[in-house]
Amino acid sequence: MKAKIVSLPGDGIGPEVVLEAERILATVAVKFGHEFEMQRFPMGGCAIDEFGTALPDHTLAACKESNAVLLGAVGGPKWDDPKAKTRPEVGLLKIRKELQLFANLRPIKTYAALLESSPLKAEIVDGVDILFFRELTGGIYFGESGRRPHPSGEEAFNVMQYSTEEVARIVRLSADAARNRRKKLTMVDKANVLEASRLWRQVSAEIISKEYPDLEYNVVLVDAMAMHLLSRPRDFDVVVTENMFGDILTDEGSMLTGSLGMLPSASIGSAGPGLYEPIHGSAPDIAGKGIANPLATILAAAMLLRHSLSLEAEAACIETAVDKVLANGFRTKDIARGGPALSTSEMGNKVLETLLAL
């Protein structure tokens, strides 16, 4: 197969972890006889410095022409000034919207080898396997927003807005995924307070009862979900929720696995290239030190092969290699619990060697 893959290394540790994932993809191409044309483009703070915008037109155009996009991370203190004309995060939101990536898949799976790295008790996190579907191009992130005068000075507002169609398409995607897993779907909302949540509840109940009667479907309020995720995470299979609830719950969920450095994510739409990235940020505190954990980005590359190129065997091969490396006791600093730790590139090498030997 021939495929065009655009990589957007971004800021902070982004370039370091993306490099390892690119090496893995290049190795997979050789091992399985594919041709991946990989090219890097600027995005994020580095693009603001060079082009005055976080998502330059030529970067967006290259992404649109590609089969898939691999992203590192964007942002950092240098671009954090609230008064700045633009911010790295603007580029991220724009690329999601432009590529119509309305579904953000965030698998939260614990590794037997890493149970001790979780701040939670091993008996609670052992065997957790949740697939989050976070709505990504709607809600409060994209609703009307602004400031207006107020007797006390100013007033600021962000509107949470959803249409039937926006809810329906992601609920269907998540329900399809549940069908191929343990057949449990949980919809998370705040229907006791928010009108937007009441629409979510209505639309999803209708779709599930008509089209997916075979699923075990339940609804949970977001505040309760924050609690259940810590007390009984094994009870969940597929979880679907709106944009901001998904943002918050998946960061919380990542702690079940011990490190934010382990979790990949896939953002997909109904057509066109998908966007694959680690769920961690640019970690400016450790940038340039060569100690970042590249596994989340390597696992994002596996999701890229699976979801955008339909290369299931290749994806599984990367995941198996990561499993083995961890089972063999290799760790980066974030998951080493004070023990010996590999550098970013050493960890990349371990996965490469293991992959080649499979």
Of 130, 123, 97, nearest in space to 238 by CA? 130
Residues touching ligand IPM, count (CB under 6 A): 3
Residue number, 98 or 323, with CB nearest to ligand IPM: 98
Catalytic one of 111, 189, 190, 276: 190
Residue (of 9, 78, 82) closest to 43 by Cα position: 9
To the nearest whole angstrom, how small is the minimum distance from the Cβ of residue 106 to ligand IPM?
9
Q: Which long-range contacts (CB under 8 A, 24 or more apart) does 165-171 make?
A: 166/102, 166/135, 166/137, 166/138, 167/135, 167/199, 167/200, 167/203, 167/204, 168/203, 168/207, 169/102, 169/103, 169/270, 170/102, 170/103, 170/133, 170/135, 170/240, 171/203, 171/204, 171/207, 171/208, 171/240
Annotated active-site residue 49? The verdict is: no
Q: Which stretch binds Mn ion (CB under 5 A): 85-93, 102-110, 246-254, 332-340?
A: 246-254
Q: Which is closer to ligand IPM, CB of 27 or CB of 137?
A: 137
Of 172, 134, 178, 144, the closest CA to residue 275 belongs to 134
Q: Is 190 a catalytic residue?
A: yes
Give least dist CB 89 to ligand IPM, A: 4
Q: Which of residues 231-270 bind ligand IPM (CB under 6 A)?
A: 247
Q: Would residue 176 show up in a list of annotated catalytic residues for this protein?
A: no
Q: Which does 240 bind (CB under 5 to 8 A by kind): ligand IPM, Mn ion, none?
A: none
92 belongs to the binding site for ligand IPM (CB under 6 A) = yes
Q: Provide the terminal-to-terminal Cα distance of the chain, rounded to the nearest Å.
A: 21
Using CB under 6 A, which residues numbered 30 to 89 contact ligand IPM?
Answer: 89
Q: Known catalytic residues?
A: 141, 190, 223, 247, 251
Which parts of this chain interact with Mn ion (CB under 5 A)? 247
Which parts of this chain interact with ligand IPM (CB under 6 A)? 89, 92, 247
